[in-house]
Structure 1
Amino acid sequence: MTTLILCVDRDDDLGRKAGVKGPIIGRKNNLDAAVALALADPEDSDANAIFAAVSLYDRMKKEGKDIEVATLTGHENVGIKSDEIIAKQLDKVIRKVKPKNVIFVSDGSEDEYILPLVTSRVPIAHMRKVIVRQSKNIESTYYILMRALKDKKMVKKILVPVALIFLAYAFSSILVATIKYFFPGWNLMGPGTMALTVITLTLGLYFLDRAYSIRRRTAHFVNRIKISMAQAKITIISDTLAFLLLIVGLDLAYNDALAGSDIIIQLIIFLHTFIVWFVFAVLIREGGKTFDIWVHKGTYTKSFWIALLSTVSTGIIIYSTLDYLLVLLNAKSEASLIPITIMVASGIVLAIMAALLQRQLKEEGLIEEPEEERNEMEELDEVV
């Protein structure tokens, strides 16, 4: 009683590409058909399945078993038409070979759909799937991915965004369900819309953090505050005061801008008021840094005078320029340009003095980062 090794080409690649008609019975005929298909399309997996069937035939033949190999072909219109053709070819093979059972060799594609058709005629003793490594690049990519997934750093980069998506969706769904349960009268967006919103927000924050190291910068800032407080530095007070001055300046500038007749004038008035508070905030911050250096080291950095002159000169020039624009736009009652001209000249003189002082200090080698600040930065980087 013969065992039949059976291959099926359900979409008839053999006929369309190599011009070989089924059924194909016998080792030589199958080998020739596989070679013809491989030459016509080296990437076709059906050729590899036939080669695997012939290889299995040779191995079982050496063991002295009664064996035969055959390949069935269907039609390019996969479905009823192709299966009818395969059924007719299978009946023809069975009549000729009279097998007691079948070893079904498949390339793992659509060929397995015809298994009920085969089992209705002859028992299947064994199935073998042929997984084809058609490209070294594909194989290399697989091993690269496997190695990457073993790397904890790489896994974090790949899985963190996916985890954020799942967590954002779950959190949004639970949040919407909870709110609707306790406050059924509230008109909320649907869970899907809420989830999509939270997902985009979460991923946006994550990508910004990856691009600009927001978490590292925040940790750096927090640790700097801790060190400043531990060392009783005045900078934490001066920085806080400078921040409060900026808030006050924004509020006053906004209230003053409301008096403008149009958006352009309002914007100019806003900047005109805010620039004064901004200059004061910068001066207080720089003054606090200089005071800290003087308290802890007994000296002060001469670069403070450069920062002082540069900040004041820039503020005066910007303030006087905005003042001049308000006069031109008839948004200011005082039409005299003499005070404005004096202010611009004063700002330019201060800027020149700052540049000359900076040049002198550079020549003397006095402009450098204070050693205390360098040590502090190194300590903070280690902490982060």
Structure 2
Amino acid sequence: MSTLVVYVDRDGGIGYDGPVVGWEAVQALVTDVGLEDPEDSRVNCLLETLHVTRDLRDDGEKAVVAVVSGGGDSVDSDRAIARQTDRLVAEHDVDAAIVVTDSASDERLVPIIESRIRVDGVDRVVVRQSHDIESTYYLLKQFLGDEELRGTVLVPIGAALLAFPMLLLLADNVAVALSAIAGVIGLFLLYKGFGIDDAVSALPVRIRDAFYSGQVSLVTYVVGAGLALIGVFAGGISAAGTGGDGDLLVVLRFLFVSVPWFATAAMAAATGRLIDELLAEEQVSSALMNLPFGLVAIGLVIRGFTGYFLERAGVFDSVTVPAFEVGPIAVEGFVVSIWGRLAFYVAAGVLVSLLGVFFTSQMADDERPLEEVPD
């Protein structure tokens, strides 16, 4: 068994284009990086990579030591890591890999490596520091020298300190100023915490790739956005017509009118994504195939419950079915009760959901390869 011990450096701070392969090459890299900046944590990571390789070889296992590096926090950097990993796997007969990292940012690349070779372990290096005043000073100095940390922590704090006196002068109310600052900081933390900044930075590349590859989802996303806007305006106009009926009825009226548009918009976007997966001739997950049915079912159930509450509040009249005659069948007119209306929407939602499960199971059975019949 041969194991690849690889150190992943996403931002490319080691200053070399990867991959760097071999015991002597990595040893020379340790010397170069250490002489350039002895306080750099990459020195410890490179030494840990050599240490793990030596332990594997002492146990009688064949091990290949390597370093792959990117060029920063971007999609191009991740692709560079992927290309270097492909080269290592192609040139060296390795069965598994052990990944050495020194940060959560580098650990985000583990799935890229794992998609190309089995990863048996992830070794994250944490440098031990003494907890005295001098060490704290140097830690703060390193923190202030890190551009990414400065932009994430110091910028919001500085903006809040500048905004507080301005809001206090405009609003003349401490509570209002503090609430506004807390709200903005909360939005910023959610923006960073959910990785929205990474999604926004990668959005132009994804749109460009969608244009060049002719993906159907690009059109359906635009259609979905347009339908969602129609739902917002239709719901807002309907809610504005409720007058002074109370905030709860305004929200219910908005949901009753806008939910069908939102469900249709989400279904259009999900359908486009499903078509792209089918055209790519790849195995489509059952969750993606069932998503359009689930969205329609949820929309029906929400519309049923909001209609129930609005009819109970007297906003809507009961549904009246007129008398009609079809051939020998004659039906007298009747009034649908409030519970009957709710039961109809709930039953329709359950029925659509079951249809989605049936469709997904049928598609999964069709895609399952036939077993070979023994001779």
Provide the TM-score with structure 2 as the length reference: 0.45
Higher helix share: 1
Q: Which structure has the greater CA radius of gyration?
A: 1
Provide the TM-score with structure 1 as the length reference: 0.45
